[in-house]
Chain A
Amino acid sequence: MMQKIIRIARIEWIKTWNYSTFKILILLHAILFLLISLISSNIQFNLQGINIFKIFHFPHIWNTLAWFASWFNLLLGVLAIVLVSNEFQFRTFRKQLIDGLSRDELLGGKVLVMTLVAAYAMLLVFLTGLIIGIIKTTNFTLTDLLNGLNYLPVLYIQALAYTLLALLFVFIFRTPGPSIIMYLLYFFPIEPIIRAIIPESAVRFMPAKIISKLTPMPDFVGISLSDMIEFNISGSDLFSQNISKSPSLTVTSLMVLLYCTLFVLISRQIIIRKNF
């Protein structure tokens, strides 16, 4: 089993790492994210007269950066579509089946790539957060730094969901153009329209809705106000308070993981029936 995974990983590595479009898109993603993070952390934001620089301090920075990173997940989805649609365009899925890979191995290779792309997104946020946090936070403890790190696995799950949904779209449409268009249209306006039609109780189970709930917008005002309140609350206390306010983050993560599984299972049903 392990041998099998290593073999598939080596194949995917050769294909992906030598592909210049992949490197360009990843670089573009990293640069855009770094620019947004660096610039916004150096601007004095004033919201209703309150300075909100604290969102770049530990531990709040993890939430802030996870939120920033979530804006760029669509780019990772597009990257996923490009990578997988190539295999249909070049007819290399067909070639590899002839050479003795199974349909499950073809799918497995791509799922593996998506898990690594999501891991890259998480690593990027981690390093950026670490650097900006250390620079911006004047006085912090290790607990401050570690608190809020749970936004990283959450971001990982979110990025994974975006790329695996992209995988499903490309398995359905095969060519890059229609796949990308339908993928983007799904987030807006297709799912919002569906959400407007279906009953309220079902809305919160729609995939794009749940996935976006993973990285909530930081509570700018709340975080900043906490600084002014007389009885000094430490960062960690504040954070645990935040957690208790939103106990659903774990539940939401699990639901998104369920959706990830669903996307892969549907993709599998498509590929094991496909005539190449």
Chain B
Amino acid sequence: MKTILKAEGLTKSFGRIKAVSNLSFEVNQGQVLGVLGPNGSGKTTTLGLILSIKFPDSGSFQWFNGNKGPDANKHIGALVEVPYFFPYLNLEKNLKIVALARRMGLNDIQRVLDLVGLSNRSKSAYYTLSLGMKQRLALASALLGNPDVLVLDEPTNGLDPEGIAEVRDIIMKQSEMGKTIILASHILDEVEKVCTDVVILKNGEKIAQGKVSELLSEKVLASVSAENMNDLENCLRKYPKVSIQEVKDNVIYISLEEGLTTSELNRWLIENGIIISTLEFHKKSLESQFLELVKGHPNKES
């Protein structure tokens, strides 16, 4: 798989605040990488660094085997934080400037305006748009010229539920087309729905990284107890479809492999001579998993 972006040890401070600290990650072609973290965790700074609008204090990165700065950026469609356009220019002229900056023709403007549903406003001055429309224009600007790589920072910011669904749909279609996408978000649900991989940030540090399906899938938890807890534990350890999360005096918490049913589990235990006294199911929400990840990480906070 081709490496699209490789970042190593990126560090950036603003005064005494470390916005990003020793951050390394890689993005491969076709991946949708979520950069997830609470507000102020360094997501936007990270994107600012890889787009060369901010300079790292230390560390390095490279796009497409060696490029950075303008040479890389012209191949990247980016939407960073809130949209920035000339308020007095109409949408078409604003996108014209983007097209010229990206060194491409002006014939793609109508297509992207159509794509985000703004073609009827193409002659309106930018300042007359609602926040949601401005966000859509920013997305249109990112999609201009059909770039292979998209860098999106909170792309659904300020949109109504319908708009959120539409924008997610657009992003997922881009992903299906084989585009590489880096998406920063504090919305867990968004990352879970859209991304294939995720990097979780807290106070500028990477606290977790992996496949979304492994890190953020909704796991089924169960608590089991029996008269003989030792036997129960030994038996559960032998069963490949469950993994033990926590053992307490009178209850064992386990997570179940997807598709494993209660009766199946019960049958296994009975076959092994164990009669359970309780079996309870809990669904662990994404939020609680995320909070666990964030809270559980020993971060140097003063």
Contact = CB atoms under 8 A, between A and B. Distances in A.
B is bound to A? yes
A94 B44 CA distance: 13
In this complex, the member of A96, A99, A102 whose beta carbon has the largest number of chain B beta carbons within 10 angstroms is: A99
- Classify the interface of chain A: helix, strand, loop or mixed: helix
Interface in B144-160: none
B84 A95 contact: yes
A270 interface: no
A14 B93 contact: yes
A97 B55 contact: no
A167 B140 CA distance: 32
A15 B84 contact: no
A98 B53 contact: yes
B89 A14 contact: yes
B53 A99 contact: no
A20 interface: yes
Given A99-B74, A102-B69, A94 B84 contact: yes
B101 A92 contact: no
Given A7-B103, A11-B100, A100 B84 contact: no
Interface string B71-90: 10111101010001111110
A101 B96 CA distance: 14
B49 to A, nearest CB: 9
A100 B74 contact: yes
B140 to A, nearest CB: 13
Contact of A92 (B48, B55, B76, B85): B85
Interface string A2-19: 000001001100110011
Given A90-B85, A97-B73, A98-B80, A11 B101 contact: yes
Contacts of B73: 97-100
B55 A96 contact: no
Interface residues of A, number: 25
B223 interface: no
Contacts of A100: 70-71, 73-76, 101-103
A95 B126 CA distance: 15
Contacts of A94: 53, 80, 84
Nearest to A94: B53
A243 B66 CA distance: 58
A45 interface: no
Nearest to B77: A99
Contacts of B103: 7, 100
A34 B132 CA distance: 47
A96 B101 contact: yes
B84 A92 contact: yes
B93 to A, nearest CB: 5
Contact of A275 (B55, B70, B76, B97): B55
A173 interface: no
B267 interface: no
Contacts of B70: 97, 100-102, 105
B84 A91 contact: yes
Given A91-B84, A98-B80, A275 B53 contact: yes
Interface string A81-119: 000001000111011111111100100000000000000
A76 B74 CA distance: 34
A167 to B, nearest CB: 19
B104 to A, nearest CB: 10
Closest 4 CB pairs of A and B: A100-B74, A99-B101, A100-B73, A95-B84
Interface of B: 48, 51-55, 69-71, 73-76, 78, 80, 84-89, 93, 96-98, 100-103, 141
19 contacts: A7-B100, A14-B89, A90-B86, A90-B87, A92-B84, A94-B84, A95-B98, A96-B97, A97-B70, A98-B73, A98-B78, A99-B74, A99-B102, A99-B141, A100-B76, A102-B69, A273-B55, A276-B48, A276-B53
Interface of A: 7, 10-11, 14-15, 18-20, 86, 90-92, 94-102, 105, 273, 275-276
